[in-house]
Structure formats: C-alpha cells, structure tokens
Amino acid sequence: MKLAVFISALLLSLSAAAQTDVDPRTQRRLVVLAPHLVESLFAIGAGDQIIATTDHSDFPAQASSIPRVGNYARLQIEQILALRPDAVVAWRSGNPADDLQRLEKYKINVVYTQADNLQDVASELRMLGKLTGREKQAENIANDYLYRLHALKARYSKAEGVSVFYELWARPLRTVAGNSWLQQQIALCGGDNIYADIEEGYPQVSLENVLDLRPQVIIQPTTHGDNQPETINWQQWPEIPAVNHGFILHPDADKVHRMTTRMLDEIEAMCVQLDKARQFYAQDSDLTQP
C-alpha cells in the first residue's frame, strides 16, 4: 500500500515538473489582424493559438473557421477586448491606426509587423517564432525562404529586360511602381516595369498611355475569392506586343499579394514566363521595343 502511494506521489511530481517545462509562449492566445500573418503562424505550427482574425484569412483551410473581428478598414474593438488576448498581432500599414491606438489605451499588448521588402518575410517569420515559442521551426522556414529568394535573384535579376505592365485594378486603372511589394517581384524576375519610375507605389494610370507604351508582357493577377474584380479585356488591342504574342500572365493574387513563403511559388512561375518572353523577343529585333 505504501509503495502504491509512493508511486502515485512520484507520478504526480513528474507530471507537475513536465508541466513547468512547457514554454508559456506556446500557450499565448493571439488575435491576428492580417491574412498573411495567419498564414505564417500556421506555417510555423502556431495556428491553434489564433483565437480571432480579420476578413479574407482563408489559408490554410483551417483559417476559414477562425472568428472574425474586423477587416482592413475597421476593427471590432469590443469583441477583441472581450476575448482578452495575450497579444494582438497587427500589420502596421494594413490595419486602421486609430483602432490599434485604442487597443493600446486599453492596455492590450499590440505586436506590430511590417514587411516592406521581399527578404522581410524571413524576419517576420523569426519574430512570430519568438512570439509563440517556435524559434526552431520559424528559423528553418525562414532560411529555406531566403535560399530560394536569393537563387531567383541570382538567376533572373541581371537578365536582359522585358517591358511589363501590371494591371493591379481595372477601374480605375491602377498599376504598381516605386518600391512597392509587387514592383520588387517584377524586378526580381528581371522585368522592366513601364511605370517603375513613378514614386507612388500604386499609381492610377490611363489606358491610352499603356497602349502608347506597348508593353511586351502584361501581368493580370486573378483571385479565387467570391468577389472577382473586373479586369480589362486586352484582346481588344492586338497591336500591343503582349497581346499579339500571347504574353498575358495570370498569377494567383492570393499568393503574390501576401507577404508569405507561398509567394515564392508564384514568383518562380512568373520568372519562368518572363524569361520565355525575353527569349522570344530576343529572336527578332523587330519584335523588341524601340
């Protein structure tokens, strides 16, 4: 009998010791305010720590069942407060600043993120790994991402240019420029954006000007969501080289627009397609831009 009591006490002691070894960061309850942050947290194995998120957080599939507490324009402050999260993970340029300030006034721990450059995805992964006690997983994924990114840069960024127009939005017609996220992707593949010199990241342009500039490649991303935006039917202008020679690319917007490792799959495919266009136009100088 005494032996049984001793063994029971020993097991309870071992169980308590094991519980103290659990990293408390892996138990943090998080409200995550951007689809790309949700995706990255799932990638490092911390998806089950997300207790609420915002609209359009739909990858991986499990993310679709997470409760929503707002969108890019407005957060539901009362609902977030009621959840009593250990931290709110915010996207500095993608969430309403006034709402984030309100959360801070209520003593909510707001953790800010901001990926401005392609390589920043790795830094963001490492930060999320530290936040959730998953440094090893995050470090492995970040290193793999940087290896692939540098390989693409080494292969394509110094290649001979091919002129590109990126149709971000049709009405009004908007494109990408400056040092925007999508412009960096074009440059990585060795593309020459016809509006790269504009400082504004996502400027409005005229259709007439695009026709005059006659891009060799048109990038027209597509989305698989319910609200498919209206796009331009470029086949109306066969005089554009991109139309005449069939170089209209349709990358997955959910991949290229989000700051995640999944983006590289689509960029790699885009680089290959731009390289095919580059080789095609190089075959005959009459096909190149004047």
Per-residue DSSP letter, 164: E
CA distance 289 to 193: 13
- Cβ atoms of 225 and 290 closer than 8 Å: no
In angstroms, the Cα distances linking 139 to 125, 143, 267 are 7, 6, 22
The architecture CATH gives domain 159-285: 3-Layer(aba) Sandwich (3.40)
Give the predicted TM-score (pTM) of the model.
0.87
Q: Where exactly are the structural domains of the chain?
A: 25-142, 159-285
- Under CATH, which architecture does the 25-142 domain have? 3-Layer(aba) Sandwich (3.40)
Nearest to 32 by CA among 15, 14, 18, 53: 53
Question: Exposed, middle or buried by CB within 10 Å (0-12, 13-18, 19+), for 61?
Answer: exposed
**Do 25-142 and 159-285 share a fold?**
yes
Per-residue pLDDT of the chain (290 residues), as tens digits, is: 555 555 555 455 555 545 557 899 999 999 999 999 999 999 999 999 999 999 999 999 999 999 999 998 999 999 999 999 999 999 999 999 999 999 999 999 999 999 999 999 999 999 999 999 999 999 999 999 999 999 999 999 889 989 999 999 999 999 999 999 999 999 999 999 999 999 999 999 999 999 999 999 999 998 764 445 689 999 999 999 999 999 999 999 999 999 999 999 999 999 999 999 999 999 865 544 44
